[in-house]
Amino acid sequence: MGKYVVTGSASGMGLAVADKLRAEGHDVIGVDLKDADVTADLSTADGRARAIRELLAALDGVLDGAVFAAGVGPRRGNERTTVEVNVLGTTELLTALRPKLAAAGNAKVVVFGSNSTTSTPFVPRRAISLLDEGNTERATKILRRRGPLSGPAAYAASKLALSRWVRRAAASPEFAGAGVRVNIIAPGPVLTPLLKAQLEGASGNQVRSLPVPVREHGTPEQLAQWVMVMLSPAADFMVGSVVTVDGGTEALLRTKDWPSPMPLKRVPKMLNGLRQAKGKGQVADYSDA
């Protein structure tokens, strides 16, 4: 049996994942604001540092995997907390845990993204870039200019920045090259306490207006099953993938956008990146095969 870290373990999809791991006999270290093995506020630098210290102290051996499910939903006036938790609450902890994951030899990591990354309009690109750099303060200022749309824009921007960071890190020598498989699961509307509160609140009509072709919301248990597959040997050849589980919303809204061919203007950059990767031994050279 293995040892896993699960953030957001006290409720929703994080709790469902932690329960499934424990039911299979794994040792789980949960991280959350309360009711967890490690209690910490991931919206603050001090809280994230505390979580990292306590996790590293609790991990006396290797770490077989991690699931980053902690997140804050879209709410106007809460933009800074949203981006801090959703971006830095994962990137800082995952970076700190990387050596423990690498020591396992074949660790799996699942990061919770969102289908909001492909279904939310009016997300400022500059804010995404700033969040990708870890600059939450300047990004928040830009996002708040969206007025009534600042909450959804902040949420989508945070998940976009996180997904880009994860995909970049996933294929790097530090992760894939060290045997750590990192992937993203992108849920649509799932009946967590967060979604239930939104449905019952002022934004209920807006949430219900999102088209879901299967005409029902997902459940935390369904998403947890997907995570278990992504933590299993079935994911040995899976790196930097985004698995969308949203009842068909993205397929309905973005039917022709993805997959898409490589734009010609990107080819020189792609070839240069490939040459650099081969030079560093990051990818295998099959030219003589």
Compute the average pLDDT of residues 81-86: 98
Q: Is the pLDDT of residue 287 over 70?
A: no
Tell me what pLDDT residue 109 has. 98
Could you tell me the pLDDT band of residue 61, with boundaries at 50, 70 and 90? Answer: confident
Assigned domain for 263 exists: no
Q: Residue 179 falls within a domain, yes or no?
A: yes
Has residue 243 got a pLDDT over 70?
A: yes
What does the pLDDT read at residue 196? 77
Number of domains in the chain: 1
Residue 198 has pLDDT above 80, yes or no: no
Q: Tell me what pLDDT residue 288 has.
A: 44
Average pLDDT over residues 234-262: 95
Q: What percent of the chain has pLDDT over 90?
A: 80
Q: What's the pLDDT at 289?
A: 43
Does 280 reside within a domain?
A: no
- Mind listing the pLDDT tens digit for each residue in 9-52? 999 999 999 999 999 999 999 999 999 999 999 999 999 999 99
In terms of average pLDDT, the best of 123-127, 203-207, 261-265 is: 123-127
Distance CA 205, CA 135 (A): 33
Question: Mean pLDDT, to the nearest integer, of 264-280?
Answer: 84
- pLDDT, position 284: 63
**Residue 283: pLDDT band by 50, 70, 90 thresholds?**
low
113, pLDDT greater than 50: yes
Query: 3-state DSSP call for residue 218?
Result: strand
Q: Which of 114, 132, 259, 129 is nearest to 195 (CA)?
A: 114
**Catalytic residues, which ones?**
155
Residue 117 is given by DSSP the state H
What's the length of the chain?
A: 289
pTM: 0.93
**Does some domain include residue 104?**
yes
Range of the domain at 150: 3-257
pLDDT mean over 151-180:
97
Q: Which of 257, 179, 182, 188 is nearest to 216 (CA)?
A: 188
* 284 falls within a domain: no
3-state helix, strand, coil in the chain (%, to 5): 50, 10, 35
- The yes-or-no verdict on residue 59 having pLDDT over 90 is yes
Q: What is the dihedral of CA 138, 139, 141, 143, to 10 degrees?
A: 170
How much is the CA Rg of the chain, to the nearest whole Å?
Answer: 19
pLDDT averaged over the chain? 93
Kindly state the average pLDDT of the residues 230-252: 97
- Output the domain CATH number for residue 35: 3.40.50.720
Tell me whether residue 250 is in a domain.
yes
Task: Flag whether 194 is in a domain.
Answer: yes
> Does residue 27 lie within any of the structural domains?
yes
